Amino acid sequence: MSENSTKPIVLNDENFSDIMKGTNLPVLVEFWAPWCHHCQVLLPVIDQVATELTGKVVVGQVNCDLSERLPEQYNVEVIPTLFLLRADEVLGTIINPKDKASLLSWVGELIG
């Protein structure tokens, strides 16, 4: 996995642990589904955030329709839900951020 990826990486039940162990950077994880309107609206924002935070934060997406264990593990009840993780620690959670500025501000507050 490249910590300098400018695109969100696909996270799933099989690769999540390896991705988390393979980086020292915080990981922004979006739990989403293709049928979710708010998730679809957020997709271009997630792409932009991945580009803007390259080298500072790894951005990944978990499709809740394809991964059963991860949404359960993180008690995801509403989508889109985003977590900022560092190693096994949850730094913060945000549900359906309203725009790119608010998402970047939230991440910035958590990582300093």
What's the CATH code of the domain at 46? Answer: 3.40.30.10
Q: Check if 64 is active-site.
A: no
Q: What pLDDT does 112 receive? A: 83
What residue ranges of the chain have pLDDT lower than 50?
A: none
The reply to whether 111 falls in a domain is: no
Q: What pLDDT does 111 receive? A: 93
The reply to whether 2 falls in a domain is: no
* Residue among 19, 25, 33, 36 flagged as catalytic: 36
Q: Token digits for 71?
A: 């949404």
* Residue among 27, 28, 39, 76 flagged as catalytic: 39
Q: Check if 39 is active-site.
A: yes
Q: Which domain holds residue 41?
A: 9-106
Given a contact cutoff of 8 angstroms between Cβ atoms, the answer to whether 71 and 62 are in contact is: yes
φ, ψ of residue 89 to 5 degrees: the values are: -100, 130
Q: What is the pTM of this model?
A: 0.94
Q: Token digits for 52?
A: 């803007």
Angstrom distance (rounded) from CA 73 to CA 21: 17
Based on the structure, what is the number of domains in the chain?
Answer: 1
